[in-house]
Amino acid sequence: MRDEDVLIGSLLEETWMTLEQLAAACAVEPDWLRHHLDEGLFPHTESVSGVWRFSAAALTRARRMRRIERDFEAVPELAALVADLLEELDAARARLRRAGLD
């Protein structure tokens, strides 16, 4: 089992991470996240009283984007597009499992 699987498995949807916590969990600098937020590459995130809050889904997305950028030397926009497609694929697979068609 990978460390990231343990962390993701322990997060509940009601649990939120700060920008600094998410950066540490993804082994990136907070500036990396700020840049991606400024570019609009993290949909469904929110800032409450000036503090960014991230869900477990954002953690998965950030890790995927970082890996894609690093492994394929992809620009952030391309990494976000691939992350979008992977999220859609995950959702489709979940729907198939719920329908008993997997």
Total count of domains within the chain: 1
Distance from C-alpha of 16 to C-alpha of 18, rounded to nearest angstrom: 7
Q: What is the dihedral of CA 54, 69, 88, 39, to 10 degrees?
A: 60
Per-residue pLDDT reduced to its tens digit, 32-71:
999 999 999 998 888 888 889 999 999 999 999 999 999 9
CATH number for the domain that contains residue 50? 1.10.1660.10
Q: What pLDDT is recorded for position 23?
A: 96
Strand, coil or helix: 17: strand
Prediction pTM value: 0.81
Domain that holds residue 57: 3-98
